[in-house]
């Protein structure tokens, strides 16, 4: 029986796309946690001294290493000598009790770009005042914003609003950062949340919003693109295929970012086109229910 569980676990790791619909999407949201299944199976197999079960465990262990082992390797995982654009992505929470303290913590990490979601008044003014000395350039649209050490041009909203949502819903913006290595189109987005139920993920609005964002990225004329956002999905989730099929993801680091009290999944993402995202890591908790994530993007 242990051998059967081991083979099934390896199959889920390697062929998770074969699981249909929302159950498959739910599985993909927590795919790295299948590594714990391997540990549990090993703990059960050792006392029994079952050679067959222990041999079978090689399959899921190898499958997990193939899927996620590279993320745990040392080093940044970006091109040696490339210019590094350091970015921070953070859903700051519309109930954050200390926006100024959160802004100071993010600025202390020394990023070039800071992308924030769930910006609401009067907290927005606190973020602006606190970040302004280090980040003189900024753009805000609705509840998303970008602060930059480099000049920003070409600021415009990005419509990621899914059908069925009425009233104001402004969760996407685009700006061009004029970096020492040339122009970089920076997108900041906050996709709809998903709900987990007995049938899997209720993610249709998130998926539609991801498709709309993917269309905008496909039409982007600036060669180098960086996407920062709370995408309410992991990079393995098929719902984000319109984005991950066009952009590269982090080469190193697992960095689960949500919920902050006990992070189980990274739904805060840094992706790039014509650039490489190196190691992604979380920063210490702020007043948000998300952890901030920081990554170095190697520009060509």
> What is the tens place of the pLDDT at every residue in 32-81?
999 998 888 777 766 766 666 667 788 889 999 999 999 999 878 765 55
Distance from C-alpha of 99 to C-alpha of 128, rounded to nearest angstrom: 10
User: Residue 121: CB partners within 8 Å, gap ≥ 6?
Assistant: none
Q: What is the DSSP letter of 280?
A: E
Query: In sequence order, what E strands does 231-292 have?
Result: 268-273, 276-282
Beta-carbon contacts of 83 under 8 Å, excluding residues fewer than 6 positions away, are: 179, 180, 181, 298, 299
Q: What is the CA radius of gyration of the chain?
A: 20
Residue 235 has a pLDDT of 97
CA 55 – CA 52 distance, rounded (Å): 5
Quote the distance between the C-alpha of residue 118 and its chain's center.
16
Structure tokens at 248: 């590269």
- Strand 152-157 to 144-148 pairing: unpaired
Compute the average pLDDT of residues 10-37: 91
- Residue in 225, 64, 88 with CA at minimum distance from that of residue 146: 88
d(CA 162, CA 209): 5
Distances (CA, A) of 270 to 14, 88, 279, 288: 24, 8, 10, 19
Q: Indicate the SS3 state at residue 126.
A: helix
* Predicted local distance difference test score (pLDDT) of residue 162: 95
Rounded to whole angstroms, the Cα distance separating 139 from 119 reads: 12
- Note the pLDDT tens digit of each residue in 195-243: 877 666 788 999 999 999 999 999 999 999 999 999 999 999 999 999 9
How many C-beta atoms lie closer than 10 Å to residue 171's C-beta? 25
115: enclosing H helix or E strand: strand 113-117
Question: How many angstroms separate the CA atoms of 230 and 116, rounded?
Answer: 9
For the CA atoms of 210, 84, 260, 38, the dihedral, rounded to the nearest 10 degrees, stands at 80
- For residue 78, the model assigns a pLDDT of 64
| pLDDT at position 48 | 65
3-class SS at 3?
helix
Arithmetic mean of pLDDT over the chain: 92
Q: What is the rounded distance in angstroms from the CA atom of residue 167 to the CA atom of residue 108?
A: 36
pTM above 0.85, yes or no: yes
């Amino acid at each position: 029986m242990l051998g059967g569980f081991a083979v099934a676990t390896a199959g889920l790791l390697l062929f998770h796309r074969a699981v249909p619909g929302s159950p498959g999407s739910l599985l993909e949201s927590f795919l790295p946690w299948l590594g714990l299944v391997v540990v549990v199976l090993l703990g059960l197999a050792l006392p029994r001294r079952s050679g067959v079960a222990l041999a079978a465990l090689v399959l899921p262990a190898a499958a997990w290493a193939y899927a996620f082992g590279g993320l745990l390797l040392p080093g940044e995982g970006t091109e040696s000598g490339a210019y590094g654009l350091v970015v921070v992505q953070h859903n700051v929470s519309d109930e954050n009790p200390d926006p100024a303290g959160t802004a100071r913590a993010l600025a202390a990490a020394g990023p070039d770009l800071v992308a924030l979601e769930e910006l609401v008044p009067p907290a927005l003014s606190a973020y602006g005042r606190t970040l302004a000395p280090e980040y003189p350039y900024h753009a805000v649209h609705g509840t998303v914003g970008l602060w930059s050490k480099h000049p920003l041009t070409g600021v415009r909203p990005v419509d990621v609003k899914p059908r069925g949502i009425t009233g104001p819903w402004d969760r996407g913006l685009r700006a061009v950062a004029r970096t020492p290595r040339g122009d970089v189109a920076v997108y900041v987005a906050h996709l709809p949340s998903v709900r987990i139920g007995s049938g899997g993920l209720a993610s249709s609005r998130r998926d539609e919003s991801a498709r709309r964002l993917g269309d905008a990225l496909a039409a982007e004329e600036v060669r180098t693109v960086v996407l920062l956002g709370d995408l309410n999905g992991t990079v393995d989730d098929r719902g984000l295929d319109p984005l991950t099929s066009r952009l590269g993801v982090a080469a190193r680091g697992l960095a689960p970012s949500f919920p902050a009290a006990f992070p189980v999944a990274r739904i805060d993402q840094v992706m790039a086109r014509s650039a490489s995202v190196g190691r992604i890591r979380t920063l210490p908790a702020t007043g948000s229910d998300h952890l901030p994530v920081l990554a170095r993007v190697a520009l060509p």
